[in-house]
Amino acid sequence: MATDFKFIPLIDVSPLLEKWDHPNIAQDEGVAQVVKQLDQACRDAGFFYVKGHGIPVSLMKDIKNIAREYFHQPYEEKIEIKLSAETGYRGYQRIGENITKGKPDIHEAIDCYREVKRGMYGGLGDVMQGSNIWPSNPPNFKQLMEEYIDRCTDLSRKIMRGIALALGGSADEMEGEIGGDPFWVFRIIGYPAASISNGHDKAHDDVGCGAHTDYGLLTLVNQDDDIVALQVRNKTGEWISAPPIPGTFVCNIGDMLKILSNGIYESTLHRVINNSPKYRVCVAYFYEPNFDAAVKPLDVCLQKTGGTRNFEGAVYGKHLVGKVTTNFIK
Ligand SMILES: N=C(N)NCCCC[C@H](N)C(=O)O
Ligand SMILES: O=C(O)CCC(=O)C(=O)O
Ligand SMILES: [Fe+2]
């Protein structure tokens, strides 16, 4: 992250969503305002809240509540959809099974990915091969989550158009070979309430998710309304809270956008600490490049940064597989 930001800005993206496929989008005054705010937020913090996003707040709430219902079940029920290498790393992981920088994360989760069919990306796709596994309870879980995922994909594509303009590119700069057929990752996460010891409440600073960056282009975080737990690191190393703002998404930049922008934007470190006496639910949608995209700095960003590549290129699918295969305790 480039600056010592103290808070995360809130952006109303509705003017961008109204004009997202307009041929003269770059000339529109309302869109230009949104683009300017996106650019500032991406440079300063790599994080921003989004409102005016068009996803019904009732749906945002429903999926958190249905996730809460799922996590509330006994372990034997939850483990019916166990994540393993055989399921293409899809399914349920118990508390402490995901590790970040060698330490177990104090969260449980269901991981989902866009479907990968056999041979779809040659050998590159083998590890991720499979379709999502959904719990049978609550009964409408799959249907609701799939509807939500579709809406997040659509919203992310439109926000990425604004970010492409912010970088000085054309609106569809991040489509085609880069993200025309975007891969996505979806995590339904539950963080246990802070533990109580010696008969009195004591926050233990259990790390719900250790400091990390996200892997792709753009993340949409839908977090519980009443718990402050997500923290974002600024340039001096201070942890800045991203408190819930009901009805909004917390958005952040992933590693692939850092490379594409040649470092004009960075993927900011963040972590989760749930010190509240309540169980916290968060549903995170990750919009990523095409699985087989060879990601390298965009020409327009190279020109702005003096012409030298600040990062090695990366094949997105390889980056993902590298993470996924080292994220779990054996
Ligand atoms: N798909 C994404 N971005 N997942 C974020 C989880 C981050 C924690 C993971 N153990 C890690 O170390 O990356
Ligand atoms: O729980 C949160 O607020 C964010 C989770 C997160 O950073 C992630 O899953 O990548
Ligand atoms: Fe994250």
DSSP per position, 161-195? HHHHHHTTS-TTTTSHHHHSS--EEEEEEEEPPPP
Q: Model confidence at 128, in pLDDT bands (50, 70, 90)?
A: very high
Ligand 2 near 188 CB (within 6 A): no
pTM equals 0.97
CA-to-CA distance for 88 and 92, rounded, in angstroms?
Answer: 12
How high is the pLDDT of residue 236? 96
Residue 2 has pLDDT above 90, yes or no: no
Virtual torsion, Cα 251, 254, 257, 262, nearest 10 deg:
120
In angstroms, what CA-CA distances link 153 with 61, 127, 156, 329?
18, 23, 5, 30
Q: What is the CA(327)–ligand 2 centre distance, in A?
A: 14
Query: Which pair of tokens denotes residue 103?
Result: 């330490």
How high is the pLDDT of residue 1? 55
Once rounded to an integer, what is the mean pLDDT over residues 271-288? 97
Compute CA 266 distance to the chain's CA centroid, rounded to the nearest angstrom: 14
Q: What is the CA(212)–ligand 3 centre distance, in A?
A: 6
Q: Which of 36-40, 197-201, 251-255, 270-274 is predicted least confidently?
A: 197-201
How high is the pLDDT of residue 322? 98
Of 242, 259, 321, 267, the residue nearest 294 (C-alpha): 259
Q: Summarize pLDDT for 44-103 with one digit per residue, the tens.
A: 999 999 999 999 999 999 999 999 999 999 999 999 999 999 999 999 999 999 999 999
Ligand nearest to the CA of 210: 1
Query: Which ipTM did the prediction report?
Result: 0.98
Residue nearest atom 10 in ligand 2 by C-alpha distance: 214
CA-to-CA distance for 221 and 254, rounded, in angstroms?
Answer: 13
Residue 136 has pLDDT above 60, yes or no: yes
Q: Which of 54-63, 177-186, 198-207, 282-291 is predicted least confidently?
A: 198-207
Do residues 173 and 298 touch, judged by C-beta distance below 8 A? yes
DSSP summary character for residue 80: G
Q: Model confidence at 293, in pLDDT bands (50, 70, 90)?
A: very high
Q: Give the residue, out of 93, 252, 253, 282, with the most ligand 2 atoms within 8 A of its beta carbon, to mutate for a pocket test.
A: 282
Residues whose beta carbon lies within 6 Å of some atom of ligand 1: 98-100, 185, 209, 212, 214-215, 286, 323, 327
Ligand 2 near 209 CB (within 6 A): yes
Residue 282 has pLDDT above 90, yes or no: yes
Once rounded to an integer, what is the mean pLDDT over residues 258-267? 98
Q: Give the residue, out of 270, 273, 286, with the most ligand 2 atoms within 8 A of its beta carbon, to mutate for a pocket test.
A: 270
H-type alpha helices, the chain = 14-18, 29-44, 57-71, 75-78, 141-166, 176-179, 255-260, 299-304, 316-324
Q: Model confidence at 197, in pLDDT bands (50, 70, 90)?
A: low
Ligand 2 near 64 CB (within 6 A): no
What percentage of the chain exceeds 90 in pLDDT?
Answer: 95
Identify the burial level of 197 via C-beta atoms within 10 angstroms of its C-beta, where 0-12 means exposed, 13-18 middle and 19 or more buried: exposed
Query: Which pair of tokens denotes residue 145?
Result: 């989550």
Ligand 2 near 272 CB (within 6 A): yes
Q: Model confidence at 233, in pLDDT bands (50, 70, 90)?
A: very high
How high is the pLDDT of residue 205? 73
Closest atom of ligand 1 to 323 CA is 13
Q: Give the residue, out of 107, 227, 272, 280, with the most ligand 2 atoms within 8 A of its beta carbon, to mutate for a pocket test.
A: 272
How high is the pLDDT of residue 202? 47
Of 270, 320, 329, the residue nearest 99 (C-alpha): 329
Once rounded to an integer, what is the mean pLDDT over residues 206-228? 98
Beta strands in 65-117 (DSSP E): 91-93, 99-100, 103-104, 108-113
